[in-house]
Structure 1
Amino acid sequence: MKKSGNTIILTGGGSGIGREMARQWHDWGNTVIIAGRTMESLRETAEGRENIHCLELDVGDPASIAQFVKAVMADFPAANVLVNNAGIMIYEDVTGARDLTDAENTVTINLLGPIRVIDALVDHLAAQKDAAIVNVTSGLAFVPMPKAATYCATKAALHSYTLSLRARLEGKIEVIEVAPPGVQTELTPGQSEREEYMPLDAFITETMAQFEAAETPEEVLTQQVRFLRDAEAEGRFDEAFAMLKSR
């Protein structure tokens, strides 16, 4: 993925990782369209940056996706990069029968959302020069944390989907996966204060440096996430899973 001169669509741009990635890409000389459900948060991301543009989008709603894509095509026909970053993480008790609303919403937003947005844009992107799709998954795609069972399952599924996309879109659209470790954001309540999580600024620095390389890696990983990403290959899966079971 080239460093500058892109027109980037980024979902979940109102806070955390999405906010800081959007700002960095803007400052490198890209036009960035950030999307989310809360316009106030999006405007905070865009403040002082004239080439960050805000559009409302609920990735859990197919009608909202259709309306969003129509608006993007009308106002930003040069869009050549899609970053699927929007997601939710909810802790859940799977030990008994329960209301499955949270689980169903997690699947809809974290998995069906990116699939639907990609589907709506893939033909357009394939016709653009220097096209790319960036899917944000998680270290928990590789070793799950049981108290967030559905979240981890959706990220594992998105990792798998990304592999298939890369194979099928080879030569047409570059497909990149960003798999963060636990990062100090408000993805879950109090997460931004947890000392064992990676500071957001450190994550952004290490992650975005890889987008500056002559060739962006297929998997953009920090050193901190490799404990999970490489656990199975290095014979440490049981150790890593035991650690996450205790959280």
Structure 2
Amino acid sequence: MKLTENTIFITGGTSGIGRALAEAFHQLGNKVIIGGRRKNLLDEVTTANPGMESIEFDVSDLASIEAAAATIIAKYPSLNVLVNNAGIMPFDDAAGKIDDVVSRKILDTNLLGPIRLSSALVEHLKSQPRATIIHNTSVLAYVPLAVTAVYSASKAGLHSYAMSQRFMLRDTSVRVQEIAPPWVDTDLVKKSGDPRAMPLDAFIKETMAKLAGDDEEVIVDVIKPMRANPGPGEHALVNGFNEALIADPIPM
């Protein structure tokens, strides 16, 4: 994608990867609008980045999405980039009883949220000379983390949806790119300085550089072997990955 002269809406833009992406695009002179549920955090980010704007909405709620989309189209008619970044990552136990309320919230936020928001904005995006939809999935879309089974499934679902959406938009002005982060040291899990987690600034630097190209999937080099996972050796890789994390657990 072209990294400048855009009007960009980023969901989950108040912390972690979402905020870092918003600030990186903002520093390049783009018009950036962040979306999130908590007005105090939205105000904190926009105050720290003069010229950035925000919309308060809940990506897990269809009515809120539709209202936000209508506001965005009316207020920012030049919108040409949507970054579906918002996500939640509760831990669970697929060997026991799964909390239905929590699972529904994960799927509403991580999977249905991007689908619904893309649907609400796609006709507007198709009217632009050039437009991009960016889905933030996860390396766990390729190699599930067993202790976040529902989260991993939600990201695998979004990866699948992105591929279908990309194909269906192939003859339009809209391109679909996917970011699939590794474990990045943010508060999505627990910001801890764990050496296994990629520093946020390093992740953003590499990701922004790769977004400037035409790659359909924008993945940092460290996860390329895991992206190559599907195939006859998939089960052994997934089992080995999870056994290593059982031996040295992720901070919770």
The normalised TM-score by structure 1 is: 0.94
Q: How many Å separate the matches in 1 of 2:222 and 2:6? A: 29
1:132–1:175 Cα contact (<8 Å) kept: yes
Q: 1:233 to 1:147 in 2, by over 3 A?
A: same
The 5-angstrom pairing of residues 33-182 of structure 1 reads 33-172=33-172, 173-182=174-183
Q: Per-residue deviation at 1:48?
A: 3.9
Gaps of 5+ in 2: 246-252
One-letter amino acid matched to 1:6? N
Alignment partners' CA distance in 1, 2:218 and 2:235: 21
Task: Describe the SS at the equivalent of 2:221.
Answer: coil
Please state how far the C-alpha of 1:54 moved relative to its aligned partner: 0.9
User: Which deviations, in whole Å up to 9, do the C-alpha atoms of 1:208-237 show, x marking residues without a partner?
Assistant: 11123xx33111010112232122359465
Asked whether 1:222 is paired with 2:220, we answer yes
Count of aligned residue pairs for this structure pair: 244
What pairs with 1:18-33 in structure 2 (closer than 5 Å)? 18-33=18-33
> Once superposed, what is the RMSD of the aligned Cα atoms?
1.6
3-state DSSP class of the match of 1:40?
Answer: helix
2:105 maps to a residue whose letter is N
* Structure 1 equivalent of residue 201 of structure 2: 201
Q: Which runs of 5+ in 1 are unaligned?
A: none
**AA in 2 matched with 1:120:** A
AA partner of residue 16 (structure 1)? G
CA gap of 1:34–1:239, structure 2 versus 1, over 3 A, is: same
Q: Structure 2-normalised TM-score?
A: 0.92
Contact 2:92/2:98 (<8 A) preserved: no
Deviations 1:108-146, CA, capped at 9 Å, x for gaps = 110000000011001110001111100000000001011
Distance 1:192 1:10 in 2: 25
Q: Alpha carbons of 1:223 and 1:240: their partners in 2 closer, same or farther (altered >3 Å)? A: farther
Q: Tell me which residue corresponds to 1:238.
A: 236
Deviation at 1:96, TM superposition (A): 2.3
Which string of whole-angstrom CA distances, capped at 9 and with x for unpartnered residues, describes residues 28-82 of structure 1?
A: 1110110001122222222342331111010111111111112111210110110
Shift of 1:245: 4.0
